[in-house]
Amino acid sequence: MSEINSQKEWRTAVTSNQDGKILIRGYNLDNLIGNKSYAEVCFLLLKGEMPTVNEAKMLDAIFVSCIDAGIATPSSVAARTVFSGGNSLNAAVAGGILTLGDAHGGAIEKSAKMFQDYIKGREDIKDEYIKETAKDMVDDALKNKKRLPGYGHKLHTVDPRTKRLLDVAGDLNFGGSYVNLAVAIADEFKVKKPERKLPLNVDGCIAAIISDMGFDYRLGKGFFIIARSCGLVGQVFEEWMREKPFRRLAPNLHEYDGMPERG
Ligand SMILES: CC(C)(COP(=O)(O)OP(=O)(O)OC[C@H]1O[C@@H](n2cnc3c(N)ncnc32)[C@H](O)[C@@H]1OP(=O)(O)O)[C@@H](O)C(=O)NCCC(=O)NCCS
């Protein structure tokens, strides 16, 4: 047992590494290796307990859903560009991770906070109340020109990952009140602003599911980072293998629109 009253400056209850033994939340890493999946051990590390079969499957599905989304995303462009400037794989991947903000991947945190602010502690609320809440939230967003994190998409009018994740969540019994609220908000946007196309995006969907799984909203961005790191390693490695250093934007992709020569 760790010393709860320890006065040492650096303390942790995550992992101990003593006498040649590494214990993750008390589980010997030697016994986890080869017996537990990466998603299972991530759950253990982040939540402190071993997941149930369904929790492990759900977390794994979340990781798969945001592992990569192609070369054109801000994180992929940034990671490849940092590498192209002559930097290492780790610097390039870190550069990609730094792009993860409110508009890209990072919306999970804000979206989960929004859902948890409305429902936390009242997870058994009735469907009618969820619909009312969704209506109020959308009315308020439209009236005050607020962007609700977890809605809208640059490319998709229906985010295909969301549909699939919601199906998996339903099959694994994670379609609780947070998921219901997330879907009710998207439905309300459809009614109030059909022309705007504000679907529940993958960030919002993950935010609702992790809330139903009992995770703190502050871990939201962490799930995306864990999953997308693999995608970024793949993108940067491909850049390394295929491309010459020093990428520049092609002339047809940029222009100068400032003052003409004047001095
Ligand atoms: C993802 C996102 C950047 C895509 O933006 P976009 O398709 O280029 O949309 P625009 O920024 O042009 O916005 C179009 C209109 O929809 C509104 N809108 C866009 N996203 C909105 C949201 N999440 N909630 C409420 N209104 C939203 C804008 O205010 C704008 O309204 P206006 O025409 O009255 O000015 C945007 O929807 C957003 O900021 N979403 C919230 C953050 C998020 O969930 N990011 C994760 C993406 S996977």
| C-alpha to C-alpha distance for 115 and 180, rounded to whole angstroms | 10
Q: Which spans in 48-147 are helix H?
A: 53-65, 74-84, 89-98, 107-119, 127-143
Mapped onto helix, strand or coil, the DSSP state of residue 244 is coil
Task: Please state, in angstroms and as integers, the Cα–Cα distance from residue 112 to each residue in 33, 68, 204, 250, following that order.
Answer: 31, 21, 7, 39
Task: Please give the pLDDT value at position 184.
Answer: 96
| Alpha carbon distances (Å) from 146 to 143, 203, 242 | 8, 17, 42
CA of 209 to the centre of ligand 1 (A): 21
Confidence of residue 118 (pLDDT cuts 50, 70, 90): confident
21, β-bridge pairs? 18
Nearest residue CA, atom 32 of ligand 1? 145
* pLDDT at position 3: 55
Q: Is the pLDDT of residue 1 over 70?
A: no
- CB atoms under 10 Å from CB of 176, counted, come to 18
Calculate mean pLDDT across residues 107-126: 88
Residue 123 pLDDT level (bands cut at 50, 70, 90): confident
3 state DSSP class of 17: strand
Q: How far apart are CA 230 and CA 214, in angstroms?
A: 25
Say which residue the tokens 């537990």 belong to: 36
Q: Ligand 1 centre and the CA of 63: distance in Å?
A: 24
What Å distances lie between residue 217 and 110, 206, 221, 222, 261, CA to CA? 7, 11, 9, 10, 52
Is residue 120 scored above 90 in pLDDT? no
Residue nearest atom 20 of ligand 1, based on CA coordinates: 152
Provide the 3-class DSSP secondary structure of residue 232.
helix
Distance of CA 117 from the midpoint of ligand 1 (Å): 21
Residue 119 or 71, more confident: 71
Question: What is the length of the chain?
Answer: 263
pLDDT at 97 over 60: yes
> Which residues line ligand 1 at a C-beta cut-off of 6 Å?
102-103, 107, 141, 145, 147-154, 196, 198, 201-204
> What's the pLDDT score for residue 2?
52
In terms of pLDDT, which residue wins out, 117 or 127?
117
Q: What is the mean pLDDT of the chain?
A: 94
In this structure, which residue's CA is closest to atom 35 in ligand 1? Answer: 145
Say whether pLDDT at 203 is over 90. yes
Is the model's pLDDT at 256 over the cut of 70?
Answer: yes
What value does the mean pLDDT take over residues 85-103? 96
User: Which of 184 and 175 is assigned the larger pLDDT?
Assistant: 184
Mean pLDDT in residue range 50-71: 97
Closest CA to ligand 1's atom 8 = 154
**For a pLDDT cut of 90, what percent of the chain falls above it?**
84
254 and 111 in contact (C-beta within 8 Å)?
Answer: no
Q: Where along the chain do its domains lie?
A: 12-51, 107-217
Say which residue the tokens 């929004």 belong to: 114
Residue carrying structure tokens 């998709």: 156
Class of 107-217 per CATH?
mainly alpha
pLDDT band at 9 (very low <50, low <70, confident <90, very high): very high
40 pLDDT tier (thresholds 50, 70, 90): very high
Instruction: Work out the pLDDT band at 27, boundaries 50, 70, 90.
Output: very high
Backbone angles phi, psi at 132, to 5 degrees: -60, -45
Q: Would you say 235 and 79 are in contact if contact means Cβ atoms under 8 Å apart?
A: yes
For the whole model, what pTM was predicted?
A: 0.91
Distances (CA, A) of 197 to 40, 188, 206: 36, 11, 19
Radius of gyration (Cα) for the chain, nearest Å?
22
